[in-house]
Amino acid sequence: MRKNLFFGSIILLALLLFSGVTAAQNIPIDEVTKITVEGNEYVSDFEILNSVATEVGDQTDQESLRADMQSIFEMGYFSDVNIVFENYQGGLNVIFEVVENPILKEIEITGNEPIYSRDKILEILDLNLNTVLNVKKMNENLKSLQEKMQDDGYILARFKDVNVSDQGVLTIDISPGYLNSVEISGNTKTDDDVILREMPITAGEVVNIKKIQKGFQNLSRLGYFVNLNPTLERVNPEENTANLVINLEEGKTGNLKFGGGYSSNDGWIGFVDVSEKNLFGNGQNIGVKWQFGDTTTYSLNFYEPYLWDSEFSFGFSVYDRETDRTTSDDLDYLKKSRGGSISLGHPLPNDWRTSLRYKIEDTEEIWNETATANGVSAVEGETIFGSDNELRSMTLSFNRDTSNNRFHPTSGSINNLSVEYAGDFLGGDMDFTKYNLDTRRYYPGFKNHAWALRMKLGLSDRKTPLAGEEYDLGGSDSLRGYERSDFDDEEANNHLLLFNVEYRIPFNDSFTGVIFTDAGNVWADTDSIALDDLSIGYGLGMRMNTPVGQLRLDYGWNEDSDGQLHFSIGNTF
């Protein structure tokens, strides 16, 4: 018996097939009258002979007998197999001499803690103690363990040493492969800390390619960089270490966005939006927006993704909005709103994130008569009635983004679930609860095309009128081919259901064509919600990438085949 069985970093049974099988030389040609086994103590004769093809009555054949020896060896229980002959009853007794592997008494595993627990590895090895070590089974399961480490992202992990002693102690030494350092090149504006905090792996940890890929998805979603190229460089093969080098090229993070459109009710409307999503290279987002037309809005937004270098995010917004419209009854309607919000967020497991927002808004509504409305005469400009509303609400949100690209996703999903509670102990004179779900899915299409799907659901449980908090439908961001005013329920838009499907066809780096179908509606009561009560819109669109952002032009038709042009910025969803 050999004093040691040693197997290299990746153990292959083929290495042993030709060293453990002794070739049968000068085999006498005669009839086989008996077949026996010698040297086995724990593995039964029946189990061994079951793998032998030669039978009593056959003529001896060198190739056949060598194949039998190899079959016995491939059972995995033996470190050596030989064959001898003796005369027996006018023929030959073919004797297979075997040397059994040691009885497996103990399994020692080192270097595995950063990857899997001892129990997990023993489960994969599936070896029984106090039985003859089955080398074939061990090799196959070690190979499975190696493949699992690779599949789970541990691309540097390998077996540093695998051996079994005469005393039956199997020792497995795993070298996981550690990250020596993380180096960054190409950033002239963005702080290193802003980049490193998006990487879920740091120096000293076991190298895991899935964590590295996740980090680069996080960096890509920031929108700060036009090119990202990660490389792993070996440092010390003996210690199995490597450096992660992040090569990147920064893009423009300041944007001037504008958009507009024409409405038969409201005339021309538009907006100008100035934003910086990497303020001073610190990863903060700030934006100022001006909207003009039937609604004039001034707003300021700020977002800090890592408040005081913690996992908490912080944001606030303030706005001043004034809406001026004329209804179909020739009533002038003026609505003034001022308010703001603050929010705190924190990450959750499995890429989810939660946030809590407090919102305050004061609204003033004034109705004037321009001619005669509802049989009531008044001097032009006279105030018929007015109302004031105070909104105080808290919104709890859960969000998850696994899309592969922030601007042109072809796989993954975005999910947003929120509950907004207003009134009661929060104050104000509006009392309601709103439940909102916005889920989006992205799939690859033909060649580099992509499918984009969205479902949006809004439900409200109100004790007082929503008074401006109703759901809006129609226009460039929801149901194209329609105006928002096409979906004003006589009572209130308390509930909403919307479906969007787009097929996106990139022509080149600058232009993308879109074919879309939208379906949706709003209702006053939950009993009225029905899939057969959805309005349908469909059409064609074009996206153009410019230095100031992506411009969007859509032309949609409603169910009456009336067309509507929509002009805005960025993907619909």
Residue pair 285/275 in contact by the 8 Å Cβ criterion: yes
**Across 181-195, 359-373, 377-391, least confident range:** 377-391
The pLDDT score that the predictor gives to residue 326 is 67
For residue 114, is it within any domain?
Answer: yes
Do residues 454 and 563 share a domain?
yes
pLDDT tops 70 at residue 374: no
The pLDDT score that the predictor gives to residue 269 is 72
pLDDT grade for 369, boundaries at 50, 70 and 90: low
Residues in the chain: 573
The pLDDT score that the predictor gives to residue 328 is 53
Report the candidate in 173, 83, 168 with the shortest Cα–Cα distance to residue 134: 168
Q: pLDDT averaged over the chain?
A: 87
Q: Is 454 helix (H, G, I), strand (E, B) or coil?
A: strand
Surface-to-core class of residue 489, CB atoms within 10 Å of its CB (0-12 exposed, 13-18 middle, 19+ buried): middle
**End of a domain among 174, 191, 211?**
174
The pLDDT score that the predictor gives to residue 8 is 37
Do residues 408 and 388 share a domain?
no
Q: What percent of the chain has pLDDT over 70?
A: 87
Which string of DSSP letters, residue by residue, matches 187-202? -SSS-HHHHHTT-S--
Do residues 544 and 467 share a domain?
yes
What is the pTM for the complete model shown? 0.73
> Cα(565)–Cα(173) distance, rounded to whole angstroms?
67
Q: pLDDT per residue over 454-505, tens digit each?
A: 999 999 998 877 777 889 898 888 999 998 777 865 667 899 999 999 999 9
Residue pair 302/316 in contact by the 8 Å Cβ criterion: yes
pLDDT grade for 519, boundaries at 50, 70 and 90: very high
pLDDT grade for 267, boundaries at 50, 70 and 90: low
Q: What percent of the chain has pLDDT over 90?
A: 65
Residue pair 443/410 in contact by the 8 Å Cβ criterion: yes
> Cα(471)–Cα(482) distance, rounded to whole angstroms?
15
The strand pair at 169-175 and 106-110 is best described as parallel
Do residues 213 and 353 share a domain?
no
Do residues 414 and 390 share a domain?
no
Q: Which domain holds residue 559?
A: 402-573
Residue 472 phi/psi, 5-degree rounding, is: -100, 145
pLDDT tops 60 at residue 7: no
The pLDDT score that the predictor gives to residue 329 is 62
Report the candidate in 127, 107, 118 with the shortest Cα–Cα distance to residue 170: 107
The pLDDT score that the predictor gives to residue 476 is 86
Tokens of 389: 């509303």
The pLDDT score that the predictor gives to residue 427 is 92
CATH code of the domain containing 148:
3.10.20.310
- Neighbour tally for 343: CB within 10 Å: 17
Tell me which of 411 and 327 has the higher pLDDT.
411
- Our count of domains for the chain comes to 4
The pLDDT score that the predictor gives to residue 24 is 47
- Separation of CA 331 from chain center: 50
Do residues 2 and 109 share a domain?
yes
Residue pair 15/5 in contact by the 8 Å Cβ criterion: no
CATH code of the domain containing 551:
2.40.160.50
Looking at residues 309-335, what average pLDDT do you find? Answer: 83
The pLDDT score that the predictor gives to residue 255 is 83
Tell me which of 396 and 486 has the higher pLDDT.
396
> Cα(481)–Cα(564) distance, rounded to whole angstroms?
5
Do residues 500 and 520 share a domain?
yes
Residue pair 569/258 in contact by the 8 Å Cβ criterion: yes
**End of a domain among 357, 380, 398?**
398
Residue pair 384/369 in contact by the 8 Å Cβ criterion: yes
For residue 205, is it within any domain?
Answer: yes
> Cα(163)–Cα(271) distance, rounded to whole angstroms?
72
Tokens of 87: 């005369």
